[in-house]
Amino acid sequence: MAVRADLFESPDHYQLDELLSEEHLMVRNAVRDYVKKEISPIIEDYAQRAEFPIQIVKQLGDLGVFGPTVPTEYGGGGLDYISYGLMMQELERGDSGVRSTASVQGSLVMFPIYAYGNEAQKKKYLPKLASGEWLGCFGLTEPDHGSNPSGMLTNIKDAGDHVILNGAKMWISNSPFADIAVVWAKNEEGKIQGIIVERGMEGFTTPTTHGKWSLRASATGELVFDNVKVPKENILPNVIGLKGPLGCLSKARYGIAWGALGAAMDCYDTALRYSKERIQFDKPIGAFQLQQKKLAEMVTEITKAQLMVWRLGVLMNEGRATPAQISMAKRNSCEIATNIARAARQMLGGMGITGEYSVMRHMMNLESVITYEGTHDIHLLITGMEITGFNAFK
Ligand code: TGC
Ligand code: FAD
């Protein structure tokens, strides 16, 4: 398939780059250059074939996007949350599945080991995950428990120096290729605990999920546990309860708030470029008011969202961001990105449905992004509960 040169230029209508430090700009430009060089030329083909480009795992490790906020002594980047956000923005500008790989590895696998693990677990797993030598996945969702993970059935039973793990997780990013899985399961008291399951443990399988029209360049699968013997030393000792996995989700949702914006920027930039080149009725289509309305609305929404995620990044750096603030940003970025992708696709006319441009791939990917890490409805209900004090989930 012919792939167009990646000419992306980031919209910055309010000179928001002035809010970024030298280090932020360096980090952003390094990831942007990587995406232009290594992701844009290949990703459409992989998505069309529904194949995960496994070689990017090591590349992403070398680039430093796995666990950027984890301290350097464990192989992380020791960077702040704005740098982390910018990395996710640039990766998702290339493809949501690429950002997904980084989100899962950094926020959902390395973060819980760093925050809830003991020293031996941190030393054993974090450096290899940071470098991309090992790939991890995060098992929370089950076939019958998606938005309501507290009802999970996956369980561990005490058996001396190990536990016996039974159950199944579904919709797990990276599972078919993962070397380890951070799995959330109920103990015999019904309390949720995190446990690290390694590929090769008897009774542990990771069937691939086929037939997706979204995130086609990301591998999704199940985690099936049939009487798996897991050493007790693999249990994360420092957290009990749903706040464990939800704490990880706060980090990952923050990354998605920036990431979805990256996809929106790419769609806007593509539509803007196309509107100046495509001639109909003897004029570039960008000279027609209807197309200008679409572009003007896109850049307005992108600018509002850029301000929101930047401010959220500042609050994250200060340790003051609340889960509800993160939910609002994740929800807003997903909503504007989904709308922008759809409008951009229409602006490209028939060309918009082909793989020659990135917009249809972004549009389909964003259907997953608006669903995982908490659906659009769930994030609205989190905001609703925060402002009214009433719980409308149950
Ligand atoms: P609730 O009673 O509200 O909370 C239980 C405990 O957790 C605490 N908490 C949080 N802690 C940290 N961060 C958060 N975001 C938190 N939200 C809640 C809470 O304070 C409480 O603590 P404690 O000490 O009192 O026990 O729990 P609930 O059962 O009522 O559920 C609330 C609800 C519905 C919001 C929650 O279950 C939820 O967020 N559901 C959505 C599930 C979800 O997001 N799943 C994502 C699966 S992973 C995934 O999709 C990865 S995709 C990755 C990729 O490819 O990029
Ligand atoms: P359901 O919870 O069944 O929701 C169905 C509908 O009901 C939704 O519209 C929802 O908003 C609505 N709904 C649910 N509860 C309420 C309520 N109280 N009030 C109003 N409406 C409600 N999970 C992981 O653990 N790890 C992963 O790595 C992972 N990766 C994923 C990758 C992909 C590509 C996808 C699609 C999903 C992934 N997920 C992962 C799972 C994802 O987090 C769930 O799909 C999501 O949380 C929703 O759960 P569900 O699909 O069971 O939908």
Kindly report, residue by residue over 98-135, the tens digit of the pLDDT: 999 999 999 999 999 999 999 999 999 999 999 999 99
Query: Are 123 and 141 part of one and the same domain?
Result: no
Last residue of a domain, one of 189, 217, 234: 234
Which is nearest to 298 in space by CA: 326, 336, 328, 327? 336
Which CATH number covers residue 93?
Answer: 1.10.540.10
Same domain flag for 126 and 158 = no
Same domain, 200 and 254: no
Asked, for residue 77, whether it belongs to a domain, the answer is yes
* Torsion angle defined by CA atoms of residues 67, 68, 74 and 78, in that order, rounded to the nearest 10 degrees: -160
Name the residue at shortest CA distance from atom 19 of ligand 1: 243
Evaluate whether residue 7 is within a structural domain: no
Both 250 and 382 in one domain: the answer is yes
Q: Indicate if 373 belongs to the active site.
A: yes
- Residues 246/107, Cβ–Cβ less than 8 Å: no
Query: Hey, whose CA ends up nearest to atom 8 of ligand 2?
Result: 375
Q: Are 218 and 253 members of one domain? A: no
Residue 212 belongs to domain with CATH number? 2.40.110.10
Positions of the chain with pLDDT under 70 = 1-3
Residues 161 and 203 in one domain: yes
Q: Establish whether residue 139 lines the binding site of ligand 2, counting it when its CB lies within 6 angstroms of any ligand atom.
A: yes
Token pair of 352, please? 């918009």
Clarify whether residues 383 and 266 are in a common domain: yes
Q: Are residues 330 and 297 in the same domain?
A: yes
Q: Are residues 302 and 384 in the same domain?
A: yes
Domain count, the chain: 3
Q: What is the pTM of this model?
A: 0.98
- 292 Cα–ligand 1 center, Å: 40
DSSP letter string over 62-111? HHT-SSTTS-GGGT-----HHHHHHHHHHHHHH-HHHHHHHHIIIIIIIH
Q: Is residue 5 part of a domain?
A: no
Residues 125 and 158 reside in one and the same domain: no
176 lines ligand 2 (CB under 6 A): no
pLDDT digits (tens, 9 = 90+) for 10-29: 999 999 999 999 999 999 99
Nearest CA to ligand 2 atom 19: 393
Among the listed residues 38, 92, 142, 373, the single catalytic one is 373
Q: Are residues 76 and 193 in the same domain?
A: no
Residue 105 Cβ contacting ligand 2 at under 6 Å = no
Domain encompassing residue 316: 243-388
| Same structural domain, 251 and 377 | yes
Tell me if 356 sits within 8 A of 1, measured CB to CB: yes
Q: What is the DSSP letter of 209?
A: P
The atom of ligand 1 lying closest to the CA of 148 is: 37
Atom 44 of ligand 1: nearest residue by CA position? 374
pLDDT at 2: 63
